Every structure is written in C-alpha cells, then in structure tokens.
Amino acid sequence: MVYCSIHDLRGPQTERRCRQDLHRMPHSSAWSYTSLFAGGKPGLVYDVSDFSSMTIGRDGSGGAPSIGDVVGKRFDLSGNGNHAIMPADDARPRLLQDAGGRPYLDYDGVNDGWSRNIGGIPDSCSIFTALDPNDGASDYFLYTDGATTAGIIAHVRPNNIVPSTNAGTPAYKIDGVMLPPPVYTSHLLSALTATGLPHVVSIIGADVSAWTDFGFARVGTRMMPGREYGTIIVDPADTDAADIAHIEAWLAGQSGAVLPS
Amino acid sequence: MSYDRSLVVSCPAAVRDALIALGRGVGVEAGMDVEWSLDGSAPATHYSSHSWVQDAFAALMLRQVYPGDALNRADYAWLPEDWVDGTVLYAMPDGVTRAQIDAILDQCDVSVDAVGDDGRLLSPVEHVDLVASRSGLRRVERTI
C-alpha cells in the first residue's frame, strides 16, 4: 500500500487520489527544491552536493570544502536563512564521496553533528533526509534538541527506525514506503533496508513546538556513524503528495537509495 | 592539506576548561563533550573528543611544534605547497607560555591515527574506545 502523506491515513479514497497525483508528476529533472519555498514558505534545504553551500569554518570562514575537508557551516538553500552550524570544531563531519561519486557528510559516530535553532522552522514540520546508517552497532541519530534530554524524532539504525517521544505522532517512510502505524514501537525493517546502503527517510508531520534546537546530534553515549546526503524540511501544510514524491526522488538521486518503481 | 588525521584527545575533568581555553587561543573551539568515567556512570571524571584534523594541528597536539614556532619546509614535509619558510603556523596565545601548554597537555591523552592489530586505521569509534580502555575508562551511559 502506498500512502502519500500523513493525511492519507484517512482512508482508501484519499489513497487512490494520491496514486493518481503521483502519476501526474512532472519528470524529476524538471523539479527543483526551491519550488517548495516559493512565496516565502518556511523550511530549509541542506544540499551536500552543492559545495558552495558549505564552509570549512563554523563561522563561515575557510571557503567551500573540497572532498576530504571538514564542514563547519551549512547554508540553507531554501532562501529562509536557516543555516546550520556544527556545535564545535571537533564536531565537524567530513565531506567525502561514495563509490558512485556521490558526496556525503560523514559523521564520526563520536561527537559529530549539526544543530540549528528552531526559529524559522514550523512547529509542525516534515523532515526528509537521505542517509546511510553505515554501522551495525549504531545508536541515536536524527534530530534532537539537546545532548541529554527530550525531542528525538527517530533513532535510525541499519535495519530499524525507532520513533521516540516529544515529537508528536509523525508518519514515517523509508525509501518512499510508509510504515504502518502505530509507530511508537521498535519497527523492524529488514525487508526494506540493508546495512551499508543509503536510504531516504521521511518524517511527516512531526511536532517540534517544544524544541529549542534540532539537528543531527549525539545523544547519550554516542551518535551513530553515518553518511548524510541531504536534508529538506517543509511545512506539511504547504506540501502535497507530488511535492513529497519529488523530494524523495531528489534525495534518492543524491544518495543512490532505491525507491519503489 | 586534507583533514585526514584521526585525533582523539582526553583529559581529566579538572583540566577540560584549561584545554578548551588553550584551543580557543589558537583559534579552535573544542567541544570536548564526550564523557568518561571509571564505571561508565555519571558524573564524568574525564572528557574526550574525536576530530579529523590536518597534519599541522596533529603536530601541534603532539607537541612536535608549538604555537609561535617559525616553520621551515626542510623540517616539516606536511607544510602546504605555497608555504613560505619562516611563517608562524599558529600564533602563541597572549600570556601563554610553552611551560603552560606542557602543563596542560601533560595531563591529556593525545592519540593520532591509531592502528589496529590488523594494520588497519581504526574508525573514530574504535579509536576513542581504544584511548578510553587504555586508561581504564568507559563512556558515560545516558538515556533519554
């Protein structure tokens, strides 16, 4: 079964309409993520393949990174100015590229991460990212507001995504496939994922109203080693099924993740 | 110079502020926020971090060079292509002496590019675990 957004959980009539919407989508090559933010719609875009949207220094200094350099600051390409800064110089991930030549940010699994003040992000937001957990003994990963407490939207592991508390009840998709609710339990995804392969993770309709910051951050003992190819955050109210399909297709292209045909 | 040296630094909790201040003096903002203790329970007795650094910073942490040193290519093969001999790579922070740097770093455990028994460069997590274990320390477990 294919759901198109959190609203599609209402029933089969909506599901059929979403499928039709997907068939009417323009070809992905004609789409640009900037269209998601026309007219000042909120959100952000971090595009790892755009080296000019990053700097080595956390203060914007050091110039754009080359492959092998660390990244200290990421500029938001949505036009909303939601730039992200790594929390310290020793928390900067490296810009590397995979065997297919696709660039990614490599988080060391110890203390790397990025953070962004929640200002400018809708209280209800949808988060899309392409990542490769890349380690069988991994731990917390996605989007928390601090190093020790509260606000984890999901723990993503190679074969597992574990939604957590303080983020409302978002819908979750892996590689374009909706996870059937309820989602507040450990959800094995061995049929969908495999260790060492990139995935598109979609978290639709998360409630971050109580948060102060978010990002990829270390929580508890360690952060999962992993690769990030890009991240997009939008307001669900501004995003329809076709937008979501475009975002997921773009992230799949960035990372090599495989979406259902 | 690429950031391809795996650097792990740990220090006793009492030294952490001084180490961070020293880093700030040479233009590096260190988090040093990975907590260690003897049995893995809070509070932390030591702090550590892992980072990917350039040769120059690794040399600084290993005290192969000091802030204020005027370097020459003949002595340091890792200097950049456009290096002008005699240039100071890192300025000595105001009011800081070599003795003070030594006093701080003497209390720290600094490890660069640890290699496993199989000759493979350890991953960051493995590298951190190695440095912790040789001091008999464990990461502080925290739950959410």
Q: Please list every residue in chain B whose beta carbon sits closer than 8 Å to the beta carbon of residue A111.
A: 31, 33-34, 49-51
Nearest residue of B to residue A152 by CA position? B144
Sign, CA dihedral B131-B108-A148-A80, equals negative
Of the pLDDT bands very low, low, confident and very high (cuts 50, 70, 90), residue A181 is low
- Please compute the mean of the pLDDT values over residues A132-142 and round it to a whole number: 53
Q: Label residue B139 by pLDDT band (50, 70, 90).
A: confident
Task: With a cut of 50, say whether residue A170 has pLDDT above it.
Answer: yes
How confident is residue A5, by pLDDT bands cut at 50, 70 and 90? Answer: very low
Highest-scoring range by mean pLDDT, A8-12, A126-130, A166-170, A191-195: A126-130
Chain A CB contacts of B4 under 8 Å are 68
Lowest mean pLDDT across A78-92, A106-120, A128-142, B101-115: A128-142
pLDDT in tens, B88-119: 999 999 999 999 999 999 999 999 999 988 99
* Cβ within 8 Å, pair B51-A147: no
pLDDT attached to residue B64: 96
| Closest partner CB to B50 (pick from A110, A135, A164) | A110
Residue B28's pLDDT is 96
Q: Complex ipTM, two decimals?
A: 0.93
Which residue of chain B has the CA closest to A145? B144
Reported as a pLDDT band with limits 50, 70 and 90, residue A55 is very high
A48 confidence band (pLDDT: 50, 70, 90) = very high
pLDDT digits (tens, 9 = 90+) for B53-91: 999 999 999 999 999 999 999 999 999 889 999 999 999
Percent of residues, chain A, with pLDDT higher than 90: 39
Mean pLDDT, chain B, integer: 93
Which 3-state string (H, E, C) describes chain A?
Answer: CCCCCHHHHHCHHHHHHHHHHHHCCCCHHHCCHHHHHCCCCCEEEEECCCHHHEECCCCCCCCCCCCCCECCEECCCCCCCCCEECCCHHHCCEEEECCCCCEEEEECCCCCCEEEECCCCCCEEEEEEEEECCCCCCCCCECCCCCCCCCCCEEEECCEEEECCCCCCCEEEECCEECCCCCCCCEECCCCCCCCCCEEEEEEEEECCCCCEEEECCECCECCCEEEEEEEEECHHHCCHHHHHHHHHHHHHHHCCCCCC
Query: By CA distance, what is A153's nearest residue in B?
Result: B144
Contact B143 A69 (CB under 8 A): no
At residue A10, the pLDDT reads 30
pLDDT band at A152 (very low <50, low <70, confident <90, very high): low
Q: What is the mean pLDDT of residues A126-138?
A: 71
Asked whether the predicted pLDDT for residue B135 surpasses 60, the reply is yes
Least confident of A149-163, A243-257, B64-78, B120-134: A149-163
Phi, psi of B29 (to 5 degrees): -100, 100
The more confident residue out of A137 and B122 is B122
Q: Report whether pLDDT(B11) > 80.
A: yes
Is the pLDDT at A143 greater than 90? The verdict is no
Angle in degrees, 0-180, between the axes of helices B16-25 and B98-105, rounded to the nearest 10: 140
Which of B3, B123, B142 is facing A70, going by the closest CB pair?
A: B3
Q: What is the pLDDT of residue A159?
A: 52
The pLDDT of residue A157 is above 90: no
pLDDT bin (cut points 50, 70, 90) of residue A18 is very low
> Is the pLDDT at A22 greater than 70, yes or no?
no
